[in-house]
Structure 1
Amino acid sequence: MGSRSKGNYTNPCLTLHQPWASLLVYGIKRVEGRSWPAPLRGRLWIHAASKVPDSDTIKAMENFYREIYAVNGIADLKFPEHYPVSRLLGCVEVVGCVKCEELACWKEVPEGVRLEAQTEFCWLCEQPQKLIIPFEMRGYQRIYNLERKIYEAAVRGLRPVQAPLPVKFLLPEPQDPLSLKPGSLVSCFDGSKAAEDKKPEGLLAAIAGARAAATQFSKNDNHQSITMQGQDADVSTRTREESEEFEKLDSELIKRADAKTQRNAE
Structure 2
Amino acid sequence: MRRNNGGNYTNPCLTMHQPWASLLVYGIKRVEGRSWPAPIRGRLWIHAASKIPEAETIRAMEDFYREIYAVNGIKDLKFPENYPTSRLLGCVEVVGCIKCEELQSWEELPEGVRLEGQTEYCWLCEQPQKLIIPFEMRGQQGVYNLERKIYDGAARGLRPVEPPYPVKFPLIDPRDPFSLKPGSLTCVSSNSKASVLKISSSLGNVIASARVAATQFSRENKGDYCVDSEAETPVSSRTRNKSKGTAETEEMVPHITYSTNDQYCQPDQ
The alignment's TM-score, normalised by the length of structure 1, stands at: 0.78
Question: Structure 1 residues 171-180 or 56-65, which shifts more?
Answer: 171-180
> Displacement, 1:218?
2.2
- Which of 228, 233, 244 is 2:255 aligned to? 228
Correspondence list, 1:54-133, <5 A:
54-133=54-133
> Displacement, 1:205?
0.7
What do residues 132-189 of structure 1 show as CA deviations (whole Å, max 9, x unaligned)? Answer: 000000001110000000000000000000000000001145467222384357433x
Is the 1:108–1:184 contact (alpha carbons within 8 Å) kept by the matching residues of 2?
A: no
Rounded to whole Å, the distance in 1 between the matches of 2:11 and 2:90 is: 12
State the superposition RMSD in angstroms: 1.9
Matched, 1:158 2:158: yes
- Which of 175, 181, 199 is 1:177 aligned to? 181
Q: Which residue of 1 aligns with 2:138?
A: 138
Rounded to whole Å, the distance in 2 between the matches of 1:137 and 1:155 is: 15
Rounded to whole Å, the distance in 1 between the matches of 2:172 and 2:186 is: 6
Question: Structure 1 residues 204-213 or 216-225, which shifts more?
Answer: 216-225
Is the 1:118–1:228 contact (alpha carbons within 8 Å) kept by the matching residues of 2?
A: no
Rounded to whole Å, the distance in 1 between the matches of 2:122 and 2:102 is: 9
Residues 152, 229 of structure 1: CA spacing in aligned structure 2 closer, same or farther, 3 A cutoff? Answer: farther
Structure 1 residue runs without a partner (length 5+): 1-5, 231-266
Correspondence list, 1:25-40, <5 A:
25-40=25-40
What do residues 31-87 of structure 1 show as CA deviations (whole Å, max 9, x unaligned)? Answer: 000000000000000000000000000000000000000000000000000000000
Rounded to whole Å, the distance in 1 between the matches of 2:254 and 2:10 is: 26
What do residues 68-122 of structure 1 show as CA deviations (whole Å, max 9, x unaligned)? Answer: 0000000000000000000000000000000000000001111000000010000
Q: Which residue of 1 aligns with 2:149?
A: 149
SS of 1:183's equivalent? helix
Q: Which residue of 2 aligns with 1:219?
A: 219
Structure 2 residue runs without a partner (length 5+): 1-5, 225-250, 258-269
Rounded to whole Å, the distance in 2 between the matches of 1:129 and 1:181 is: 32
Rounded to whole Å, the distance in 2 between the matches of 1:31 and 1:165 is: 13
Correspondence list, 1:174-213, <5 A:
174=178, 177-178=181-182, 179-180=184-185, 182-183=187-188, 186-188=192-194, 192=196, 195=197, 198-213=198-213
Aligned residues: 219
Residues 8, 36 of structure 1: CA spacing in aligned structure 2 closer, same or farther, 3 A cutoff? Answer: same
Amino acid at match of 2:123: W
Rounded to whole Å, the distance in 2 between the matches of 1:187 and 1:105 is: 9
Is the 1:170–1:180 contact (alpha carbons within 8 Å) kept by the matching residues of 2?
A: no
Amino acid at match of 1:187: K
Question: Structure 1 residues 132-141 or 214-223, which shifts more?
Answer: 214-223
Is the 2:20–2:254 contact (alpha carbons within 8 Å) kept by the matching residues of 1?
A: no
Is the 2:17–2:254 contact (alpha carbons within 8 Å) kept by the matching residues of 1?
A: no
Rounded to whole Å, the distance in 2 between the matches of 1:221 and 1:187 is: 40
Rounded to whole Å, the distance in 1 between the matches of 2:189 and 2:147 is: 40
Q: Percent same amino acid among aligned pairs?
A: 69
> Displacement, 1:221?
3.5
Residues 48, 221 of structure 1: CA spacing in aligned structure 2 closer, same or farther, 3 A cutoff? Answer: closer
